[in-house]
Amino acid sequence: MKSKKYYITTPLYYVNDKPHIGHAYTTLAADILARHLRAKDVPVHFQTGTDEHGSNIEKIAREKGVEPKAWCDGISADFRELWKTLNVKYDHFIRTTDPAHEAGVQAVFEKLIKSGDVYLGSYDGLYCRSCEAFYDEGELKEKNCPVHGKPVEHVSEETYFFRLSKYEKPLLEHYEQHPDFLSPRYRAQELLNFVKSGLKDISISRTKVAWGVQVKSNPKHTVYVWFDALLNYATGAGYNPEHVSPDFNTMWPADVHLVGKEIFRFHGVIWPAMLMALGVELPRKVYAHGWWTINGDKMSKSRGNFIKAEDVVQEYGVDALRYFIFREVSFGQDGDFSMDAFKRRYNADLANDLGNLFSRIMNMAAKYLDHQLPEKPEGSVIFGEFKTWTPEIHRSIETLQFGEALEKIWKAVSRLNHLVNERKPWELAKKDPEALKVFLYEMVWCLRLIAGWIDPFMPDTASRMHLQLGVGRPADGTEPQKVPALFPRKQDESKPARAGLDNIVPPSSPSGGLKPKDIKTN
């Protein structure tokens, strides 16, 4: 039997609007984890995709004068384009309009009708025609729809229910036996309280929504979007209750569902109950991260505080964005995105701390080490110490503490910068060329470690660093290339250049790479 893959998912994004930074957040987190595991030779399956059914999407498509499917094709392609721009390497992109997914949803529905966990009933509620939604008495504003201010109607609609109430106890037992299932812990309590307060059966079909998966045995019903969309995690991996693909057993159970906090309930309560009803093993973890605001405000196009990832990438490069959103805020907590904070970190952490350090060391290495990659500095205290940091950095990534990992990496960067100031290589160059060489050996090897550490976060930067550091290049004597600065400083917030180091390298000297003597990494 093939070994089980580490299965990572993102939510399926609604195609009612174009993607923004909030969407990029979950997907980039999944990409970082996936890249890290792949580098450790762990087989990974990373799935993302788009959520395409429902009345909202149907309505938008009609407003735009196109067929729902054509609308979905366009926005779904925008998401794929964004993932390409952001250097996201997923293994499978699922759309809820994929025929295999739709067939899976239909088969699940029929199976649950047979087992009795899905049953036909009627939903009595207060309905707003404009919203196409039901409201509770308490949600109304002066007895009118809270959105449109229009009167609501008492409607009794035939609907299928999912017997969620039956899973109240099994869910609580599962949470207790698997304390990491709902993560992070500080978000779990809210869900526990919700389940403990008593679960009601939920309506999972609509007769008024045409754009959805039809119930096979009763085609006037379409499946409620969330019931349809949640199933993607299983159908995308090859699940259909009528014929489970052999692939499914190499992926399931999912190792982690990454979701935003607002959809934790769907993933932490309804989804596991659906799987229990199907007799399918539960995922290992559902992890809910926080929300980004923009300049302290909810992201919204109409208010003009809407940041497109593409715009940031165009000006600062993809890795700067990948760095910022995981360094600025601990993954899990809410955070605020401001271009000022972004620029500050870009200039301080990237252009200055890492970029400058790297280009200066590379310039000196090119000049004083004659482009040769030095032997491993076995006696180096700093290199020896940094090597012991690797497991800790890996643990942080594996527990989704991305900010913690980056903080540690930048601690190393800052230590190297201090060391440069302390050892003053520009003086060593005149006084003690042998000591300078040893110092540069240490620096180069430490930078190799750092390039390895940042690889899942900033894959482009890491490969450019590796190229200059002589990692992975054939030892064929080809001249090292001149490589542009990793993070060109942005004019406005620039700090004065550090004294000393620049003086020993003529400005015309290429930011040259090293020829590998040994292409093994740490």
Residues at the interface with ligand MSP (CB under 6 A): 11-14, 22-23, 25-26, 51, 229-230, 232, 259-260, 263, 291-292, 299
- DSSP result, 462-490: HHHHHHHHTSS--SS-PPPPP---SSPPP
> Closest approach of Cβ 13 to ligand MSP, in Å?
4
Q: Which DSSP category does 373 fall into?
A: P
Task: Say if residue 1 is exposed, middle or buried (CB neighbours under 10 Å; 0-12, 13-18, 19+).
Answer: exposed
Which residue lies nearer to ligand MSP by CB, 202 or 259?
A: 259
Asked whether 505 and 369 are in contact (CB, 8 A), the reply is no
Residue 151's DSSP bridge partners are: 144
Could you tell me the smallest distance in angstroms from the CB atom of residue 160 to ligand MSP?
Answer: 19
Q: CA 329 from chain center: how many Å?
A: 14
Integer Cα distance of 389 and 24 in angstroms = 29
Report how far residue 134's alpha carbon sits from residue 131's, in angstroms, rounded to the nearest whole number: 8
Nearer to ligand MSP, 29 or 449 (CB): 29
Residue among 12, 9, 28 at smallest CA distance from 82: 28
Name the closest residue to ligand MSP (Cβ). Answer: 22
Instruction: Give the nearer residue to ligand MSP in terms of CB position, either 25 or 358.
Output: 25
User: What residues act catalytically?
Assistant: 20, 23, 128, 131, 145, 148, 298, 301
Angle (CA) 329-333-334 rounded to 5° is: 80
Least distance to ligand MSP from the beta carbon of 364, Å? 42
- Least separation in angstroms between residue 342's CB and ligand MSP is 15
What is the residue-wise DSSP string for 145-202? -TTT-PBPEEEEEEEEEE-GGGGHHHHHHHHHH-TTSEESHHHHHHHHHHHHT-PPPE
- 115-to-118, 215, 279 alpha-carbon distances in Å: 8, 16, 11
User: Which of 345, 352, 284 shows the shortest CA–CA distance to 320?
Assistant: 345
Query: Shortest gap between Cβ of 25 and ligand MSP (angstroms)?
Result: 5
DSSP 3-state helix, strand, coil percentages of the chain (rounded to 5)? 50, 15, 35
Burial group, residue 91, by CB count within 10 angstroms (0-12, 13-18, 19+): middle
Smaller CB separation from ligand MSP, 50 or 363? 50
In the numeric block, which tokens belong to residue 99? 């025929």
Contacts for 382-387 with beta carbons within 8 Å, 24 or more apart? 382/415, 382/416, 382/419, 382/442, 382/446, 383/442, 383/445, 383/446, 383/449, 386/412, 386/446, 386/449, 386/450, 387/449, 387/522
CB of 254 to ligand MSP, least distance (A): 12
When the beta carbons of 93 and 291 are compared against ligand MSP, the nearer one is 291
Of the pair 244, 263, the CB lying nearest ligand MSP is at 263
Of the pair 162, 292, the CB lying nearest ligand MSP is at 292
Q: C-beta of 234: minimal distance to ligand MSP in Å?
A: 11
Question: In the bound complex, what is the minimum distance in angstroms from residue 284's beta carbon to ligand MSP?
Answer: 17
Q: Which is nearer to ligand MSP, 266 or 389 (CB)?
A: 266
Query: 292-325: b or e for each residue (b if 16 or more CB lie within 10 Å)?
Result: bbbeeeebeeeeebebebbebbeebbbbbbbbbb
Task: Compute the distance between CA of residue 281 and CA of residue 284 in angstroms, rounded to an integer.
Answer: 9
For 355-394, strand residue ranges (E) read: none
Give the nearer residue to ligand MSP in terms of CB position, either 299 or 467: 299
User: Least distance in Å: CB of 260 to ligand MSP?
Assistant: 3
Report CA torsion sign: 160, 166, 172, 174. Answer: negative
| Closest CB 51 distance from ligand MSP, rounded Å | 3
CB atoms within 10 A of CB 448: 21
> Judged by CB, which is closer to ligand MSP: 51, or 319?
51
The backbone torsions φ and ψ at residue 440, rounded to the nearest 5 degrees and listed phi first, read: -65, -35
